[in-house]
Amino acid sequence: MSFKCPVTDQRFVLDHVVGIGDLTNDLEIVDAVLEGAAALAEGEFAPLNRVGDEQPSRWNEGEVTTPPGFKGAWRSFVEGGWMGLSAPEYAGGQGLPLILSAALMEDLNGANLGFALCPMLSFAGIEALDRHGSDELKRDYLPKIVSGEWPATMNLTEPQAGSDVGALKTRAEPNGDGSWRLKGTKIFITYGEHDLSENIIHLVLARTPGAPGGTSGISLFLVPKILPDGTRNDLRCVSIEHKLGIHASPTCVLSFGDDDGAIGWLVGPEMGGMRAMFTMMNNARLNVGLQGVGIAEAATQRAVAYAQERRQGGKAISDYPDVRRMLLRMRALTSGARSLVYYAFGQADRGHRGDEGAALRADVLTPLAKAWGTDVGCDIASLGIQVHGGMGFIEETGAAQHLRDARIAPIYEGTNGIQAADLVGRKLGLIGGAAFDLLLADIRAEAADPRLIALVDAVEIAATTFRQSPSEDRLAGSYPFLTMCSILVAGWLLERQANILGDGAFHDAKRASADYFLSVIVPEALGLAAGAQSGASLLYSVAVEALA
């Protein structure tokens, strides 16, 4: 199967969900970006997807070699200026809306998720350095990251400190000249070492002398692989992980300061690391939601192609009702997830332009986009295997790789359970609850489908209950609540699109997806209300031993 980027649907969503015309006056640039991104993804990244899965990145004495063809494809990415698409112009970027980089990343994720992980973290690093870096760091490093010559990484996790970032032990000691020396070990560092570039820029969390415990005492440092004088910094890749999926992406264990200490520079103020890192993480979380969308699109295309070609009982299996059901569900969920994640990016764009209300809405939407987007990616990849039948369980069809690659996305950049906890613990109460309530009010004002209105009512009731409940009860019911909210927003956006559809094959397919979503998936979300509100009391009435 040859992967094809969903350019027509992307443009439709940009117009009618994002409102791209409000973000840029040059719609010819929008078309050029979508077409160019599709050509890059289909022509350079997609042909290497199977290669990277079967010939993964290799470690040898601290050096990492990426799969065959990756260096050439990365060179094409850099030479095309794609890394700087939405980066600030002062650093050599094009200053285009963030949502256009999102469309690019959806394409790259669908074409080759293992490869797309490298630029994804650089996009996040650019935003963090732009917002929190000193003038000197921006001058010396940002243009190189923006060009793609020096990819960036994110270094949070340690062996004893996974989601509990405050437990990290990496230390930073001042040198007296404005630089610091870091010592410690970081794990699960995506593209922490590779042969795609001569330098790699690591953004590293560490604790300075006298800093308090927990997250309040953490600082962020920029630590380059190669120092400004051309010498190798005191950091090395100890090993890379052997994983279920995304085999092409080297997931590294990095050791900082085995000798004198790895030299780095503060990003933002001392003990302001979490604020700077959350800038990077929130960007990454939206992009991880896009990973779910990209995998969903690829898995759906593969399943449709197989179902149309595979004949059984004298006809293509796509003619059988249950196969049609699965294919339509895949397409409807993909459309819903794309709409939700693109909408979140669009609100982030408006927030960056000074719209405080949009910035708050982006905060509310981020856990939905990350968690539900990645859940959808896994669900659709699994359905894709089912459509293939027994051949889906055989590696040669490629269907299994989608599920193996997608499965990490609900785990990293904050597990989906953490996203649900963030929704009910923080986002539900933003500015006294107004940010969340205004989103519901907008949906209620526009929604016409009675099932969608019923879901608004259910979400509103659950939100009121959560606000009056103890923290443990809120957390226990948080995941079904997040799913309800995500499906509500996606259903609202799909209904909006369905109301302006015309004639033709694309419009007919779009209408069928929206109808299925509203008729089947929205009512399923209504059934989650019991889990959101009653799950907590049931959970805490059972002893842990009884669950073993």
Per-residue pLDDT tens for 482-519? Answer: 999 999 999 999 999 999 999 999 999 999 999 999 99
Cα-trace Rg, the chain = 23
| Domain-located, residue 292 | no
What value does the mean pLDDT take over residues 472-477?
Answer: 85
Determine the distance from the C-alpha atom of residue 348 to the mean position of all C-alpha atoms in its chain, rounded to a whole number. Answer: 14
In tens, the pLDDT along 105-126 reads: 999 999 999 999 999 999 999 9
- As for how many domains the chain has, the answer is 2
- CA distance linking residue 491 with residue 514, whole number of Å: 8
pLDDT reported for residue 83: 98
What value does the mean pLDDT take over residues 318-333?
Answer: 98
pLDDT reported for residue 535: 60
DSSP 49-109: HHHHHHS--EEETTEEEPPTTHHHHHHHHHHTTGGGTTS-GGGT-----HHHHHHHHHHHH
| Domain-located, residue 411 | no
At residue 265, the 3 state secondary structure works out as: strand
| Domain-located, residue 334 | no
| Domain-located, residue 280 | no
State the CB neighbour count (10 A cutoff) for residue 250.
29
pLDDT reported for residue 277: 86
| Domain-located, residue 132 | no
| Domain-located, residue 87 | no
Per-residue pLDDT for 539 more than 60? no
| Residue of 413, 472, 524, 545 marked active site | 413
Among 233, 255, 271, the domain boundary falls at 271
Q: At 170, which CATH number?
A: 2.40.110.20
Bridge partners of 220?
Answer: 205
395 is catalytic: no
- CA distance linking residue 492 with residue 453, whole number of Å: 9
Among 247, 271, 295, the domain boundary falls at 271
- CA distance linking residue 317 with residue 383, whole number of Å: 14
Among 205, 236, 271, the domain boundary falls at 271
In tens, the pLDDT along 165-202 reads: 889 999 999 999 999 999 999 999 999 999 999 999 99
Domain span at 517? 416-547
Average pLDDT, rounded, for the chain = 95
What value does the mean pLDDT take over residues 211-236?
Answer: 96
pLDDT reported for residue 540: 55
| Domain-located, residue 33 | no
Q: Give me the percent of the chain exceeding a pLDDT of 70.
A: 97
172 contacts 182 by C-beta, under 8 angstroms: yes
| Domain-located, residue 324 | no
Which structure tokens are listed for 500?
Answer: 């302006």
